[in-house]
Structure formats: structure tokens, C-alpha cells
Amino acid sequence: RSICLCVPHNDRISLTNFTCACQDGFSGKRCEYEDVKIDISFYDVSIPQSLLFHCITVREHDLESLNPIPNRATMFKKIRFDQDTITFFFMSLPFHLIFVQLEDKFYLTVLQHIYTPSVTIQTKIARS
């Protein structure tokens, strides 16, 4: 169950017009959706102070677009010095591929042909 704080825009006008601040791992108008959770551990790789997540969504092929361009969203994550596993939540952002960028190296960490919401994915980054 999620914990959220909801504040009405104007409590004299409507009880349905409000904004909610959700805890990590939940999203939606009333924090009713569980986000995708990704746990990444590091093995035999020097752990940087920060990294970039590149989430790629492949769009379906249709008649209007002969060569659809994939959507990409990039997110930044700081890593504490005592961490060897990081957790990242994706707020209802559908994706098929996730690359993690550590300095100038890219690691394919998640590959899913069909996007699955509300799951926990555990993966590892290791030296190849």
C-alpha cells in the first residue's frame, strides 16, 4: 500500500481537484500505481559517484511512419560511497531497453520485448 499526501487545489470548490505527492515506488493521481523497481548490483566494476540511465521505448511500426524513431529518456542517479546496489523507480515510463552509462562505458541492463508494469527487476553490472 502506498503512502501519499494529497492537497486540494481549493477545498471550497471541489473535493476531487487535488494534487498528491507519492512516496518512491508509486505514481498516479492518487498514488494507486506501483512503479517498476530496478535493483542494480555491481560486480568487479569500480562504482562511480553517479550514473546515467538511458531508457528506450521502441514504437510500433504503422503505415504512417515507415521508420519510427524510438523514444529515449535519460535520468541521473547519484550513488552513495557505501552502496554496491542501487534502486531506481520508473514512474509509469514504459521502456524496452535500459542502458546504464558509467563514465564512457554503456551496459545493457534490461531488455524486455513487451513492457511489463509494476514489476521488480534485479540485474547486475559486471566487467566483461
Q: What percentage of the chain has pLDDT greater than the value 90? A: 24
Taking alpha carbons only, the member of 33, 39, 71, 69 closest to residue 55 is 71
101: confidence class by pLDDT, cuts 50, 70, 90: very high
52: confidence class by pLDDT, cuts 50, 70, 90: very high
Q: What is the pTM of this model?
A: 0.75
What mean pLDDT comes out for the span 70-84? 88
Q: What percentage of the chain has pLDDT greater than the value 70? A: 88
Taking alpha carbons only, the member of 109, 117, 123 closest to residue 56 is 109
Answer with the residue of higher pLDDT: 62 or 102. Answer: 102
Q: Say if residues 48 and 104 touch (Cβ distance below 8 Å).
A: no
CATH of the domain spanning 35-126, picked from 1.20.120, 2.60.40, 2.40.70, 2.30.30: 2.60.40
C-alpha cell at 92: 509509469
Domain boundaries of the chain, sorted by first residue: 1-34, 35-126
**Each residue of 14-23: pLDDT tens digit?**
667 788 888 8
